[in-house]
Copies of this chain bind each other. A is one copy, B any other.
Amino acid sequence: MIKVGIVGATGYVGQQLTWLLYHHPKCEISFLTSNQYSKMNFSKIYGQYKGFINKKCIKIQEIDDYLDQTDVVFLALPHGKAFVLAKKCLAKGIKVIDMGADFRLKDPEIYEKWYQVKHDGVDFISQAVYGLPEIHREEIKEADFIANPGCYCTASILALIPLLKAGVMDPSSIIIDAASGVSGSGRSANTENLFTEVHESFKAYKVASHRHTPEIEQELSAASYDKKKIKITFTPHLAPMNRGILATCYGNLENKQSIEELYELYYKEYGEEYFIRILEDLPETRWVKGSNFCDIALRIDERSNRIIVISAIDNMGKGAAGQGIQNLNILFGLKEQEGLEMLAMMP
């Protein structure tokens, strides 16, 4: 059994990792940290584990006692907090999957500009592999250190890469308009995310200023046929639901093309991928809820020769913890879908 520690286990990403690991046939949980709930039984905070996970949360400071019996550590922390822990674990030969943003951007200057935090692990950036398996699988296989992608980024990058690789779209025309469920905002107590403030409302936020922007740009640029720097416009919205991201991505086609030709690019790129489903029908977030799938469909606006790619993921699944486990499976040579075969539950 692979022994897995989770730092930040009582946030939503940490808890979703715990849930997946609990059901994973090849993993066992080594430790769960929580600063807020240290010494409390994990099942006291998350009642679904009553009778099944009987483990006290420990403080980050206490993990040293557990690291010797740990094969891999997930860091599910706010940005700026992974530097010290990542270095410590790597130094001990423990693999690290960082769920946060600290090692996703290859350029520390861009990191510091968007996150307003000094990057305190510059030497380790090159060691961190951007953990989007459908794009970087071979590097992940060789890695010890994974920077797990952001939720909006996963949905957006997977949606757009086949077009950019093929060079059929004007890269300067990309607009990504996405909506997320509220779990993306985390579990901190703040007025803004109270039920009564979110329910029965819809809004845009961080328009043209969301931190996932440079991350999407980095990956789209690297994957595009001519490697030129791509700049996108990205608008996130908050939808009154627990989970799910839908990304509606727009771009101008360079030439007239049939929808079949464009679909063909996606089949070629993703045809063998277990977790990407190329759909004729439009995706809906409910069909991926709780799963690690990314559903993608294409439409052409004939009147403007614009391509519209729509992708749906569960922000907690393929957008965070599910993808984290997928990376773990690759790191340890397991079947990629191990512990991730569940389909969305309906209704």
Contact = CB atoms under 8 A, between A and B. Distances in A.
A242 B191 CA distance: 14
Most chain B CB atoms below 10 A, which of A50, A201, A232: A201
A12 interface: yes
A47 B287 contact: yes
B48 A241 contact: no
Interface in A251-274: none
A182 to B, nearest CB: 4
B199 A288 contact: no
A237 B196 contact: no
Interface stretch (A58-66, A118-126, A301-309): A301-309
A341 B181 CA distance: 27
B303 A208 contact: yes
Interface string A162-182: 000000000010010101011
Contacts of A312: 203
Contact of A194 (B48, B187, B231): B187
Interface stretch (A67-75, A102-110, A134-142, A275-283): A275-283
Contacts of A343: 19, 22-23, 48-49, 52
A61 B235 CA distance: 42
A248 B346 contact: no
Given A22-B343, A301-B208, A239 B242 contact: no
Most chain B CB atoms below 10 A, which of A244, A291, A303: A303
Most chain B CB atoms below 10 A, which of A47, A183, A190: A47
B203 A182 contact: no
Contacts of A345: 16, 19, 48, 290, 345
B208 A281 contact: no
A233 interface: yes
A204 B310 contact: yes
B182 A179 contact: no
Contact of A347 (B23, B243, B277): B243
Contacts of A56: none
Given A50-B277, A304-B233, A202 B189 contact: no
Contacts of A306: 175, 208, 233
Interface of A: 12, 15-16, 19, 22-23, 44, 46-52, 172, 175, 177, 179, 181-183, 187-191, 193-205, 207-208, 231-233, 235, 237, 239-244, 246, 248, 250, 277, 279, 281-291, 295, 299-304, 306, 308, 310, 312, 341-347
24 contacts: A19-B345, A19-B346, A44-B281, A47-B283, A48-B343, A172-B304, A175-B177, A175-B250, A177-B177, A179-B202, A188-B191, A193-B196, A202-B284, A203-B246, A203-B283, A203-B284, A204-B282, A208-B301, A231-B304, A233-B250, A233-B301, A233-B308, A237-B246, A290-B345
